[in-house]
Chain A
Amino acid sequence: MTETDAIRLFKCLSDKSRLQILKSLAIEDMYVERLAERLGITAPTVSFHLKKLADAGAVVSYKSQYYTMYSLKKDIFETSILEILQEKSDEAEIQARRDAEYRQKVIDVFFEYGKLKAIPAQRKKERIILEVIAQAFEYDRIYSEREVNIVIADFHDDFCTIRRDMIGEHLLDRDAKGYWRVKP
């Protein structure tokens, strides 16, 4: 388990309702309404907590007849706290993780359900979102300007600015034949 995973899990566990849900699931697998009845909280609130627990890797769900059942992800809880503390992480790894976390944070802020909410004003942040958009283009393929616009329009309406900036950031290149994705 990485440090980031451990922190996310511990943060998630530091809530009485979530701990009660996990205690119930330690007895047996349950569905939302059953947990709600048992714990005296509403079903939507149980779903809310289960989503957070699932994101932290603490529970998994599966279908059983008409119900979505939830169960503990036991391997997560079999890791001892001492094992987490003894896990080594060197400086380069930490730096890479920080970069990845920053990148993810920018992506989370500027994208919602795969759509770009706004073009970042800061160049560093814009570079990150342009790299995400660039992933929608295949390598070794020539795109017409119309095709480029259609791909970018899936993310944001201002495809002209984004197309131009992607050229400026050397993520895309162009000549008389068309546009292509630049290999790193």
Chain B
Amino acid sequence: MIEQKISKLNSYFDEEISLCKQRSETLLADDRADEAAHEKIKANVYDIFRTILSVAVKTGKGDSEAVRHFFLLKVQQIPSNWAASYEQAKLHDDMVKMQIEQIKLDTINNIKEMFAVIWDASQAQNDSEWRKE
């Protein structure tokens, strides 16, 4: 079952990265270089957390709860610098930096939500199947 969840999450990351790249190319072709760069930032965040998932799987050694715990810990830890950087930029009315940090924070929120949907939904399904048995 854990393999299924990991596979779903990896597909999610691959799909999002591919969508970001497509949007970035479209924006670049439309002479919107900065917005294209914003899409690349999103893709980088997805890529970082795809890597973190693979590390979580490696360190978790098949234990679903250990993988979940490791991944969610990183989801909390890594963006704390981005949030601090956003606040600092806000303090200095630096709209350019604020936008970049906001994009990273929005992307991590999407990841967090999707992780909960995939991981916890699969867990609930497992539990209900176990009860039926």
Contacts and interface: CB of A to CB of B under 8 A. Distances in A.
Interface of A: 14-17, 41, 44-45, 47-52, 113
Given A44-B98, A49-B34, A113-B92, 15 more contacts: A15-B34, A16-B30, A16-B31, A17-B32, A17-B34, A17-B35, A41-B35, A45-B99, A47-B95, A47-B99, A48-B96, A51-B94, A51-B95, A52-B96, A113-B88
B126 interface: no
A113 B88 CA distance: 8
Interface string B21-45: 0000000001111110010000000
Please report whether the interface of chain A is mostly helix, strand, loop or mixed according to DSSP.
helix
Interface of B is mostly: helix
A156 B92 CA distance: 19
Contacts of B38: 45
Interface of B: 30-35, 38, 88, 91-92, 94-96, 98-99, 102
A48 B99 contact: yes
A14 B102 contact: no
Nearest to B85: A112
Contact of A16 (B32, B91, B92): B32
B132 to A, nearest CB: 46
Q: Which of B30, B96, B98, B102 has the most CB of A within 10 A?
A: B96
